Structure 1
Amino acid sequence: MDLPSTIARSIDHELVIKKSRFLAHLSPAGSVAEADAVVARLRKELWDARHHCVAMVLGTHAGGASPTARSSDDGEPSGTAGVPMLEVLRHRGVTDLVAVVTRYFGGVKLGAGGLVRAYSGAVATALDVASASGAMLRRELLYEVEVPVPHGDAGRIDNVLRDWASSHGSVMEPPAYDAVAHLRLLVPKQQLDALTADVAAASAGALSPAVGEARVVDVPVPPTRR
């Protein structure tokens, strides 16, 4: 199963529906405590709002771990705010974030269906803004790879690997130096054979990558066009 996505930074977006203002806020959160701190801050900053409805999903989904999911209607009719917000997060396949939608009542009642559409739409639109602004992170299982290179060849091979990584869904990591230069990458499993072949071609067979353990990595996603 594919790993979920997450966000790199906070996102804010406002919807106005029948004079009610719905202020959607998305924030990265690595734990329930971090998510609760975001909610507490918004309650303090927007103290005069009637409702601060919440949905959060936490957990990498890696290693069989189940995500933590919570929601709150915060005074809205039961099932009209927190749960619809949570369903949007689940449907979009995101995790390690908290969504808070603050409502300033505009004097016109929306009804249960209207509230569901408003709260879910506020979160969905905020996620669209995150995608369009390049704030999304794709979570992948990548393998640690090290290429030991003599210092005299390190600059050239480093350039080769950077070009290779940019076109093979891989990530360069900071190198380490001792008797040789240890150039390091994070590489998808399906690209490991290609890396071995391309490193051999670039070094006339003198160099060979050493593959290490796999780990979950957050990779930036290019902005989407709206």
Structure 2
Amino acid sequence: MPVFTLAAPVTAELEIRKSRFIAHALPVADRDAAMEVLRQLRDAHPGATHVCWALLAGGQSGMSDDGEPSGSAGRPILEVLRHHDLDSVLGAVVRYYGGVKLGAGGLVRAYTDAIATALVEAQRVERIAQARLAVELSYADEARARRWMEQHDVVLLESRYGAQVWLAMQMPASEIEAARNTLRDLTQGRAVFPEDD
């Protein structure tokens, strides 16, 4: 099943019974990047009553109700992100309290509607898992390997030169085995793939 991230940040604002809900959904690399975005949102909205959020980022996921009743804000935001098959995405909703209490059920609906409204216009892009491949080859084979990398948009991460040429590259994880076979063919079997760099 494909997993998606967002092509660009999206925002939406709703007013519900005099409270303002400003929803933001944006792609983030990891939890540290998400925490920085939340800090910026708090700085930009010093008068906000709450900045509730949910993060889907592999093993770094999390959420916060930021003072709202437990389970009434972070969890609904998280469920909307999951419903859209998103990863590496932060959903945050800034709330300015308008004086009318919404109750737990009303809050769940408000936070769900706010983030869902922001995602209506969002452009999703498939997130393709990347993997790293290291190869050792002779100096004579380096030019062929680099030409193949250029033709297939393989990213060179690092190169080292000693008795052999050592190259580390990044590509979609699903293409690693085919890349090994191709590099073996290009070097007539001389390419070696060290398990550990």
Tell me if the contact between 1:13 and 1:126 (Cα under 8 Å) persists in the aligned partners.
yes
C-alpha displacement of 1:160: 0.8
Q: Which residue of the partner structure matches residue 222 of structure 1?
A: none
* Whole-angstrom CA distance in 2 between matches of 1:40 and 1:138: 29
* Whole-angstrom CA distance in 1 between matches of 2:44 and 2:119: 22
Residues 89, 173 of structure 1: alpha-carbon distance in 2 compared, 3 angstrom cutoff:
same
Give the letter aligned to residue 84 of structure 1.
P
Residues 3, 74 of structure 1: alpha-carbon distance in 2 compared, 3 angstrom cutoff:
farther
Residues 176, 42 of structure 1: alpha-carbon distance in 2 compared, 3 angstrom cutoff:
same
* Whole-angstrom CA distance in 2 between matches of 1:207 and 1:128: 52
CA offset digits 1:132-191 (Å, max 9, x no partner): 4x6x75445x353214231x5533420212323x3xxx6432222234432322456654
Q: Which residue of the partner structure matches residue 149 of structure 2?
A: 161
Give the letter aligned to residue 54 of structure 1.
W
Q: Which residue of the partner structure matches residue 168 of structure 2?
A: 184
The 5 Å alignment of 1:210-225 reads: 210-213=193-196
* Whole-angstrom CA distance in 2 between matches of 1:40 and 1:74: 16
Alpha carbon RMSD of aligned pairs, Å? Answer: 4.3
CA offset digits 1:102-137 (Å, max 9, x no partner): 1345788877666434423443455676644x6x75
Structure 2 residue 9 is the aligned partner of structure 1 residue 16? no
Residues matched between the structures, number: 194
C-alpha displacement of 1:73: 5.4
| TM-score when normalising by structure 1 | 0.59
* Whole-angstrom CA distance in 2 between matches of 1:34 and 1:186: 22
Give the letter aligned to residue 158 of structure 1.
R
Structure 2 residue 179 is the aligned partner of structure 1 residue 195? yes
Structure 1: segments with no counterpart, 5+ residues: 62-66, 215-226
* Whole-angstrom CA distance in 1 between matches of 2:175 and 2:111: 41
Structure 2: segments with no counterpart, 5+ residues: none
C-alpha displacement of 1:198: 1.9
| TM-score when normalising by structure 2 | 0.65
Q: Percent identity?
A: 30
Q: Which residue of the partner structure matches residue 217 of structure 1?
A: none
* Whole-angstrom CA distance in 2 between matches of 1:189 and 1:41: 34
Tell me if the contact between 1:4 and 1:93 (Cα under 8 Å) persists in the aligned partners.
yes
* Whole-angstrom CA distance in 1 between matches of 2:67 and 2:98: 17
Give the letter aligned to residue 115 of structure 2.
V
